[in-house]
Amino acid sequence: MTPPPTISPSARRAAIRSLQSGTIGAIVEWYEYTIYGATAALVFGTLFFPGFAPGIGQIAALATFGVGFLARPVGAFVAGHLGDRIGRKSTLILTFSVMTVATALIGMLPTFSQIGVAAPILLCVLRLAQGFAVGGEWGGAAIIAVENAPRDRRGFYGSWPQIGVSSGLLLGSAAIAFAVAVSGDDFEVWGWRIPFLLAIPLAIVGFVIRLRAQESPAFLVEKARQDALVEKERAPVVVLFRDHRRPLLIAIFARFAEAGNYYIFTIFVLSYITTEFDVSRQVGLVATMIGAGANVALIPVYGKLSDRIGRPKTFLLGGACIIVTTVPILLLIQTGQTWAIIAGVVLFMGLGHGLVYAPQPALYCELFPTAVRYTGISVGYQMAAVLLSSFTPALAAALVVFSGGALWPIMIFAIVTTGIAMVAVRMAPDRRDVELDRIGMPDLPSVAREPAYLSR
């Protein structure tokens, strides 16, 4: 590997500010997303879908969680275009604003008993708004961290927005646990609103930090190049589907290792243990919080590992861990014992999920040239979310109902989807030694030579 260029103190400070922007924004965004998933699993079936049988009402509530994923591709296309043409920073502020407003309004939403069928309809509309915002958030947070990072630390810097996701999960779970403790038996009456309203002060902090971020040198160079063109290039999404189809497919299928499995071992497990074993809600929330804590602690370690051995190798190691541990983890959870539930969730979050999730931002940024990077990352990431994440909690709940309580269909689902992701990442190049603004250029150094299919 060629030695990385030295960077000035001012460039390093700019990189750290951009890193903070991506991370803090991700924390707040995913805090808001987490509290929705948790409350959907715990109380939305009763509050917004009364009159259904308990199991069917639960499935309907979890399905509203999936509705948000339908808007993710729209958010990815819109944010991708804006991010590649106008700027990463402005686009991230837009997605942050939409997400915060939608979350606060959910916390103020009347229930079915108050306004009838309008309640679930409005819930779905606000959920769509959340999905739109998240559709453009992850790609921008990943890019603003990785594009500003020193070349030899892109994996480590890129892992920090992933920490933001797990930190959001941790804070969201803590907020739900706090609301349950404060409201007690009234959680279904008013306590569930507390986490949504707490998003408002969190968002203020996020706005202040995000406004301090700077555009990356790679984007500024690309923007100057585009402004100098007499004949403007076509929209980034057109260029993406015309010239970068193979990298896009790699980005889509690479998510199969964690996109659905993450929601199985967090949202679905929370619902499963409370309905099947009459286990206290607090047990599932505590398990999720400890698992998120392990994720936060280990993701930077795995990000640094990817700087040493490469993104594909780190990812493949994580995929192998998921396949090997899926059956033991679900068997532990199926015992209904508190210690086993906690151990299973922590094992998944700290080992397999962390290893595949940490290198993703750098891996994705290294797949696409600067001109279509925001679009390529966002579209690839969110198309996988629609294919796999969207209705996974509801699908898992349905599989349990129709299999008589057995978890073997979920085991097969997790193993097969992870295998698909490993095949896709096996085809990805290792571009640790390539400057991001050189990706897609014809004169790549020989040390970074890659399969010919990645050019078109």
Phi, psi (deg, nearest 5) at residue 232: -65, 145
Rg (CA), the chain: 21
Where do the domains of the chain lie?
13-217+234-441+448-455
Amino acid at 21: S
Distances (CA, A) of 198 to 39, 133, 191, 202, 379: 14, 19, 12, 7, 30
Nearest to 390 by CA among 133, 57, 29, 67: 67
Containing 358, the helix (H) or strand (E) segment is none
Copy the structure tokens of residue 230: 């007499």
DSSP state of 2: P
CB within 8 Å of 210: residues ≥ 6 apart: 21, 24, 25, 89, 92, 93, 96
Pick the CATH number of 13-217+234-441+448-455 from 1.20.1250.20, 3.40.50.2300, 1.10.1530.10, 3.40.50.720: 1.20.1250.20
pLDDT in tens, 347-390: 999 999 999 999 999 999 999 998 899 999 999 998 888 787 66
**Per-position pLDDT tens, the chain of length 456:** 555 556 666 667 777 777 777 788 788 877 887 888 778 777 787 788 776 666 666 677 767 777 777 888 899 999 998 988 888 888 888 888 898 899 899 999 998 888 888 888 888 889 889 888 888 888 888 898 898 888 889 999 999 989 887 788 788 878 888 898 898 888 888 898 999 999 888 888 888 887 877 777 778 878 887 777 766 777 888 999 999 999 999 999 999 999 888 888 877 887 788 877 777 777 887 888 898 889 999 999 999 999 999 999 999 999 999 999 999 999 998 888 889 999 999 999 999 999 999 999 999 999 999 889 999 999 999 888 878 766 777 788 888 878 777 788 899 999 999 999 999 999 999 998 888 878 876 554 434 434 333 433
Copy the structure tokens of residue 380: 């690839």
Question: What pTM was computed for the model?
Answer: 0.82
Where does residue 191 rank: exposed (0-12), middle (13-18), buried (19+ CB within 10 A)?
buried
